[in-house]
Structure 1
Amino acid sequence: MTKIEVNGAVLAYDEVGAGSPVVLLHAGIADRRMWREQVDALATRHRVIVPDLRGYGESELPPAPFTHHDDVVGLLDALDLPRAALVGCSFGGRVAVDTALAHPERVSALALIGAAISGHEWSEETEQLWDDLVGEVDPEDFVASAAGEVRFWVVGPSRQPADVDPELIRFAEEMDQRALAAELALSAVEIGELDPPAIERLGELGMPVLVGAGADDLADIRRLADRIAAETPQAVRLPDVPDAAHLAPLEQPHPINAALLNFLP
């Protein structure tokens, strides 16, 4: 692990390999450790950079306004990288897309797995699903909240916890407890948003885009992947990854790694 100052904050990141640069951006329920199955595989061909987003994991959170997408470009600047491919899962996908729209000259390609998109609104179906699967949880109880979020996102609506590797559930809950603490701290800081949001601007993405999702992820996420693929000029839609929900890179690394190695420039 290395630390580097980016836009007034010290960010933690890992770096492995040599070749064309690739930045892996983690989900909001996780931190950079969610990419542990991708790093060595991608490092056979790429310079792989895996940061904790500001406030998450081991990265700092100064009490100053910022934007995550500007931090990504600040990281590229600090590492003297003119351009890089961005790979994002969930919230990391949202950050990747926002970066590509705000700074298109800095992004050579996008790979989006179970990506969120700024400006996208969740369906009533998803809100009802949360009530059915999780219900009300004390937001200050990080253990209970993480267990609920992992049930919702990592297990997914079409499976039972017994269907999922217990080590994956344990690791996801541990990451999410830290992420929940990060989100609480982030709620006290002014975070800039892309304006207009990305959901209205997918047609502006001029770089190659790979779009995928887990077959057991939320229907909203899979529909959003379809929309990204349909509205982005150079998009390729992967078939949904079997036996995987929202953290597909962690749960099913082999098909994800193969797809990334085939796609990344």
Structure 2
Amino acid sequence: MTKIEINGASLAYDDLGSGTPVVLLHAGIADRRMWREQLPALAARHRVIALDLRGYGDSELPAAPFAHHDDVVGLLDALGLPQAALVGCSFGGAVAIDTALAYPQRVGALALFGTAVGGNEWSEETNDLWEELVGDTDPDDFAASAAGEVRFWVVGPGRRPEDVDPALIRFAEEMDRRALAAERALSAVDVIELDPPAIERLGELRLPVLVTAGAADVPDIGRLADRIAAEVPGAVRLPDLPDAGHLLPLERPDAANAALLHFLG
């Protein structure tokens, strides 16, 4: 792990390999450790940087307004990288899209796994699924909240917890407990969003885009992948990966790595 001062915050990242740079941006229920299977695989051909977004993992959260997409470009500046491919999962995918919209000259390609998109509204179906699978949890009980979020996102509505590797569930819950603390701290800070939001601007993206999702993820995620593929000129939509939930790169690393290595060339 390395720490670096970016826009007034100390951010943590891992940096492996050499070659064309690739920045990995984690899900909102995780931190940079979710990319543990991608780092060595991609580092054989690329310089791979896995960042803890501000407030998450080992990165700090000063009490000052900021934008995650500014931090990503600040990292590129600090490392002397004119451009990088961005790989994002879930919330990290939303940050990657925002970065490409705000700084189009700095992003060479986007690879999006189970991505969120800034400004998207979840469907009533998703809200109903949450009530069915999780229900009410005590927001002060991070362990119970993390267990509920992992049941919803990592296991998914079409699987049972016993269908999923228990080690994956334990690791996801451990990451999510830390992420929930980060989200609470972030709620007290002014996090600057794109205006208008990315969901209204997908057609502005003019770069290679790869998008896919886990077949066991909540249906809204697959629909978002379909929308990106429909609205981004030339985007490549891979089929949903069977027996994979929201943390697809962590759960099915061989398939994710093969797709990334092919896409990144």
Q: Structure 1 length as normaliser, TM-score?
A: 0.99
Which position in structure 2 is the counterpart of 1:62?
62
Identity of aligned residues (%): 77
Q: Which residue of 1 aligns with 2:44?
A: 44
Q: In the alignment, what sits opposite 1:244?
A: 244
Q: How far is the alpha carbon of 1:230 from its aligned partner? A: 0.6
1:173 equivalenced with 2:176 (yes/no): no
Taking the aligned partners of 1:62 and 1:222, their CA distance within structure 2 comes to: 35
Alignment of structure 1 residues 1-265 onto 2, 5 Å:
1-265=1-265
Deviation per residue, 1:197-251 (Å, 9 max, x gap): 0011101000000000001001000001000001000200011111101000000
Amino acid in the other structure paired with 1:158 = G
Deviations 1:137-186 (A, max 9, x none): 00110000000000000000000000000000000000000000000011
Question: How far apart are the structure 2 equivalents of 1:215 and 1:30?
Answer: 20
Q: Distance in 1 between matches of 2:235 and 2:5?
A: 33
- Counterpart AA for 1:80: G
The AA in structure 1 aligned to 2:140 is E
Cα separation, 1, equivalents of 2:254 and 2:106: 28
Whole-angstrom distance in 1 between the partners of 2:130 and 2:195: 28
Q: 1:84-121: CA deviations, max 9, x gaps?
A: 00000000000000000000000000000000000110
Shift of 1:252: 0.3
Distance 1:156 1:39 in 2: 25
Q: Helix, strand or coil for the counterpart of 1:206?
A: coil
**Aligned-partner residue type, residue 114 of structure 2:** G
Letter in 1 for 2:75: L
Q: Secondary structure at the match of 2:56?
A: coil
Structure 2 SS opposite 1:30? coil
Secondary structure (helix, strand or coil) at the match of 1:211 reads strand
TM-score (norm 2): 0.99
Q: Matches of 2:234 and 2:258 in 1, distance apart?
A: 20
Separation of aligned partners in 2, 1:218 and 1:231: 21
How large is the RMSD of aligned CA atoms in angstroms?
0.5
Q: Secondary structure at the match of 2:223?
A: helix
Q: Deviation at 1:255? A: 0.7
Structure 2 CA distance for aligned equivalents of residues 140 and 75 of structure 1: 33
What secondary structure does 1:234 align onto? coil
SS of match in other structure, 1:81: coil
CA distance in 1 between counterparts of 2:229 and 2:156 reads 22
Question: 1:73: how far off?
Answer: 0.3
